[in-house]
Amino acid sequence: MNKISKLAVLTSGGDAPGMNPCIRAVVRTALYNGIEVVGVRQGYKGLIENDMYDMDKRSVSNILNLGGTILKTARCLPFKEDEGMATAYKHLKERGIDALVVIGGDGTFTGALRFSRKFPDIAVMGVPGTIDNDLYGSTYTLGFDTATNTVIQAIDKIRDTADAHDRLFFIEVMGRDSGAIALRAGISCGAEAILLPEKQTAVADLIKNLKEGKSNKKSSSIVIVAEGDKNGGVYDVAKAVQQEVKDYDVKVTILGHLQRGGSPSSFDRILGSRLGFAAVNALIAGESQKMVGLQANHILLTSLDDALNNHEFKLEADLLQMADILSI
């Protein structure tokens, strides 16, 4: 077993609700085990710019309910360069830090793995914190549940007005490479169609389905379009449909950044707490270059290499099929 005496924690990439409960768990689990904790501001940028501070038990008081991240996050291009990594390493060593917990998505993990391979004397542990739910090794990532609930609340409101006016709404949700939010929100809100990056939907089929819905006396329709859908974006799809489905008044709503904000759900508070707790315990057990993740309600370790490169991760085919059948 490696003895960890001081660890640093950072949040990186896109913010995700649940990062704060996770930071709290990392800090308090480390302190409980006699490990000092340093908070790094703005992800890898803070490592390079030496923007870090000592954290104590009270540094994480009353943050369980806060969205965003008290450590701030950033996208940091210099960390992709050898020089940036060397500067980060120097600052960590100067502070006597021997382990790093990184909370973020696949970009964050790519950086962490490269860094750890270059400087293996600093152990790294990843926590999947991204609303995209697109990492192999964790059925759910931190922030996905809250973001999906936020989307559902917004779509429910849109459904009210869509129904009142017999309108067809196209709603764009986040997910450049992942249709996870679109799929879950689509099932939860009874969307008439869900357009995802993982599955090509022909616009002609979409038009046919919407026409059928109208002839089956549907008074409103909702089509959820993930950002990464391959039909050219929500406005293009809406335009193509409006030309063919004349009886509907077509509207477009882009939910945008509101999807990232808000107080974490119970699920994300508990998941963040479990993952943060497990990350520190894994480091204490001498693990490195791994990710903690939720699998069948257990917290298990996956190598960062597998988490990044195992492309078996897919959206559940049964959910896709069910969504189609239930929305007739």
Q: Could you tell me the two tokens for 152? A: 């559902």
Q: Given the DSSP bridges, would you call strands 167-173 and 249-254 parallel, antiparallel or unpaired?
A: parallel
Query: Among all chains, which residue has been given the structure tokens 């999807």?
Result: 259
> Which window, 12-20, 28-36, 58-66, 249-257, contacts ligand ATP (CB under 6 A)?
12-20
d(CA 13, CA 130): 8
Residue among 202, 222, 225, 201 nearest 213 (CA) = 222
> Minimum distance between the CB of residue 132 and ligand ATP, rounded to whole angstroms?
5
Q: Could you tell me the two tokens for 36? A: 């000092």
d(CA 278, CA 30): 11
Examine residue 186 and tell whether it contacts ligand ATP (CB under 6 A). Answer: no
> Which window, 18-26, 62-70, 110-118, 221-229, contacts ligand ATP (CB under 6 A)?
110-118
For the question of residue 305 being annotated catalytic, the response is no
Examine residue 133 and tell whether it contacts ligand ATP (CB under 6 A). Answer: no
- Residue 124 is which amino acid? V
Binding footprint of ligand ATP, residue count (CB under 6 A): 18
Do the Cβ atoms of 71 and 11 come closer than 8 Å?
Answer: yes
Examine residue 87 and tell whether it contacts ligand ATP (CB under 6 A). Answer: no
> Minimum distance between the CB of residue 22 and ligand ATP, rounded to whole angstroms?
14
Q: Could you tell me the two tokens for 2? A: 């490696």
Examine residue 98 and tell whether it contacts ligand ATP (CB under 6 A). Answer: no
Examine residue 79 and tell whether it contacts ligand ATP (CB under 6 A). Answer: yes
Examine residue 132 and tell whether it contacts ligand ATP (CB under 6 A). Answer: yes
Sign of CA dihedral 152, 158, 164, 169: negative
Examine residue 213 and tell whether it contacts ligand ATP (CB under 6 A). Answer: no
Examine residue 114 and tell whether it contacts ligand ATP (CB under 6 A). Answer: yes
Beta-carbon-side half-sphere exposure of residue 74 (alpha carbons within 13 Å): 17
Examine residue 12 and tell whether it contacts ligand ATP (CB under 6 A). Answer: yes
**Chosen residue from 39, 105, 175, 213 binding ligand ATP by CB under 6 A:** 105
d(CA 16, CA 270): 14
d(CA 23, CA 12): 12
Do the Cβ atoms of 159 and 171 come closer than 8 Å?
Answer: no
> Which window, 48-56, 104-112, 167-175, 264-272, contacts ligand ATP (CB under 6 A)?
104-112
Strand boundaries in 72-186, DSSP class E: 99-104, 123-128, 167-173
d(CA 302, CA 296): 14
Residue among 111, 116, 131 nearest 180 (CA) = 131
**Chosen residue from 11, 20, 116, 130 binding ligand ATP by CB under 6 A:** 130
Using CB positions, name the residue nearest to ligand ATP: 107
**Chosen residue from 57, 80, 118, 230 binding ligand ATP by CB under 6 A:** 80
**Chosen residue from 4, 10, 14, 227 binding ligand ATP by CB under 6 A:** 14
d(CA 155, CA 220): 12
Q: How far is CA 174 from CA 41, 46, 170, 179, in A?
A: 25, 27, 13, 8
**Chosen residue from 6, 75, 95, 199 binding ligand ATP by CB under 6 A:** 75
> Which window, 7-15, 183-191, 234-242, 300-308, contacts ligand ATP (CB under 6 A)?
7-15
Given 15, 98, 132, 134, the catalytic residue:
132
> Which window, 48-56, 103-111, 154-162, 185-193, contacts ligand ATP (CB under 6 A)?
103-111
Examine residue 104 and tell whether it contacts ligand ATP (CB under 6 A). Answer: yes
State which residue, 17 or 186, has the beta carbon closest to ligand ATP.
17
Positions marked catalytic: 132
Give residues in contact with ligand ATP (CB under 6 A).
Answer: 12-14, 44, 75-76, 79-80, 104-108, 110-111, 114, 130, 132
